[in-house]
Amino acid sequence: MNTDKQILTRLAQEYEEIAMLPVNEERRALWKALNGLRECRPLIMMDQLPWHELDTDGSLCLQCTDPDARIVEDNLRKLLYQAKYFPADRVFAPYLELPKTIKGYHHGVLLQEETLSTDANNDVKSHAYICQLCCEDDLENLKFPKICTDEATDKKRWEKISELVSGVLPVRLAGIRMFHCCIWDDLVEAIGANNFFYFFADEPELLHKAARRMTAICQSLINQLTEKCLFDAYEQTVHCTGAYTDELPQDKKNNVRPADVWTYGLAQMLGSVSPSMFEEYEIAYVKPLLEQFGMVYYGCCEPLHNRIDSIRKIKNVRKISMSPWADIRVGAEQIHGDYVISRKPNPAYLAGSGFDGEVVRNELRETLRAAKENGCTCELILKDVSTVRYHPERLAQWHKIAVEVASEW
């Protein structure tokens, strides 16, 4: 019977072969060019995938018994799978990571919710949040976190995993990367989606007070993470996109400050409010938070093509999300080469009863035409893929089309 050490050592050896390939340095250089707004071909990433649907050959099945070993095994198996079937422009770094023990790291809302699922194996669920914010007294339900670490336990975990992989690759304890500077996606969990938009009309002052408290909670997190040296400069990705850059000290080991790392901001729940309300409720609050960081990725699923002027008020923004609901031509015209267009192709094209490659190709070509005509650098980020209807080959098909379209640049 395989032991945890045999399993992890074998997987680490397979991964080391991939991590040492020259293509990783080539991809790293491309991400640095893209993030530096220098001309290069569009880069491709695939993330947030329905892994429960992809194990057609048993290669994703975990075999280790130790909980820490299973964390590393799960990561290794997914990286190996992606390298085999749809590597895109992912950089496979020559080390393994183990997350540090960080307790109390949350954004103020202790969830009360009901969930529904159409697939028991899928971690993507429908959420109904129970309202915890009905009056000013309820602001106390938005909790200030207290972050705690356990260095002794982490040292033991690091020693254990280093031994289990037989020293094939270095193991590093990973801290906080991609700090989440967001108040509204968290607030909707405290208010409930059904109530949220009524608050703008019925309780605007309460909403502002809640936003101020959430901003203070977020600042408290930044302060605690800085004081405890928990920010991590070994950033490979930011919000599912390549984070490599020449403009931040990405190999800094000690005393990592917010100014040394990326962050990301978003206000998906404000996608339906007016541009002036977006400035009043979002920009006014998150601007001081975001500007403490070295670089900012802004946006997620909300359409931002008509919000670029507002986003420009935040310094250090480098990438702006253009979701499937954004008008890519309007967005590209407004961005006009000043930021990376982080285009999110529509994941629904992989979730239907069939897969139409020409629909995918046309969508990607439309994006690249808009980017090129407006002098923009561009990345294609397939994410939020909640299902492929148990047809994992669709991911490889999408990958093939994206690579072909990007090569036309």
Judged on CB neighbours under 10 Å (0-12, 13-18, 19+), 170 is exposed
Sort strands 96-99 and 171-174 into parallel, antiparallel or unpaired: parallel
363-393 residue pLDDT tens: 999 999 999 999 999 999 999 999 999 999 9
Contacts (Cβ under 8 Å, ≥6 apart) of 132: 109, 112, 138, 141, 190, 191
Q: What is the pLDDT of residue 1?
A: 47
pLDDT, mean of residues 52-80: 96
pLDDT, mean of residues 103-122: 89
The closest alpha carbon to 231, from 200, 248, 198, 253, belongs to 253
Q: Is the dihedral of CA 177, 178, 182, 188 positive or negative?
A: negative
Q: Do residues 165 and 8 lie in contact, with contact meaning Cβ atoms separated by under 8 Å?
A: yes
* Separation between Cα atoms, residue 299 and residue 266, nearest integer Å: 4
Query: To which residue do tokens 């950089």 refer?
Result: 91
Reported in sequence order, the residue ranges of 198-316 that DSSP labels E, i.e. its strands, are: 237-238, 241-242, 262-265, 295-298
* Separation between Cα atoms, residue 263 and residue 260, nearest integer Å: 10
- Indicate the pLDDT class of residue 48, thresholds 50, 70 and 90: very high
- Indicate the pLDDT class of residue 182, thresholds 50, 70 and 90: very high
* Separation between Cα atoms, residue 293 and residue 267, nearest integer Å: 18
Q: What is the pLDDT of residue 283?
A: 98
Least confident of 1-5, 126-130, 144-148: 1-5
pLDDT, mean of residues 240-267: 95
* Separation between Cα atoms, residue 113 and residue 172, nearest integer Å: 35
Q: What is the pLDDT of residue 2?
A: 73
Q: Read off the tokens for 57.
A: 């050959």
Q: What is the pLDDT of residue 228?
A: 96
**pLDDT at 74 exceeding the cut of 90:** yes
* Separation between Cα atoms, residue 113 and residue 345, nearest integer Å: 30
Dihedral-angle region of residue 192 (phi above 0 means left; psi in -120 to 50 means alpha; beta otherwise)? left
204-238 residue pLDDT tens: 999 999 999 999 999 999 999 999 999 999 999 99
Higher pLDDT pick, 106 / 371: 371
The torsion angles phi and psi of 329, rounded to 5 degrees, stand at: -70, -45
Q: What is the pLDDT of residue 41?
A: 97
**What is the 3-state secondary structure of 330-379?**
HHHHHHCCCCEEEECCCHHHHCCCCCCHHHHHHHHHHHHHHHHHCCCCEE
Sort strands 295-298 and 317-322 into parallel, antiparallel or unpaired: parallel
Buried b (16+ CB within 10 A) or exposed e, 193-217: eebbeebeeebeebbeebbebbbeb
**pLDDT at 360 exceeding the cut of 80:** yes
Q: What is the pLDDT of residue 213?
A: 97
The closest alpha carbon to 238, from 91, 369, 136, 372, belongs to 91
The torsion angles phi and psi of 24, rounded to 5 degrees, stand at: -65, -40
pTM to 2 decimal places = 0.96
**pLDDT at 136 exceeding the cut of 90:** yes
Q: Do residues 92 and 81 lie in contact, with contact meaning Cβ atoms separated by under 8 Å?
A: no
Q: Do residues 286 and 215 lie in contact, with contact meaning Cβ atoms separated by under 8 Å?
A: yes
257-286 residue pLDDT tens: 999 999 999 999 999 999 999 999 999 999
**What is the 3-state secondary structure of 136-179?**
HHHHHHECCCCCEECHHHHHHHHHHHHHHCCCCCCEEEECECCE
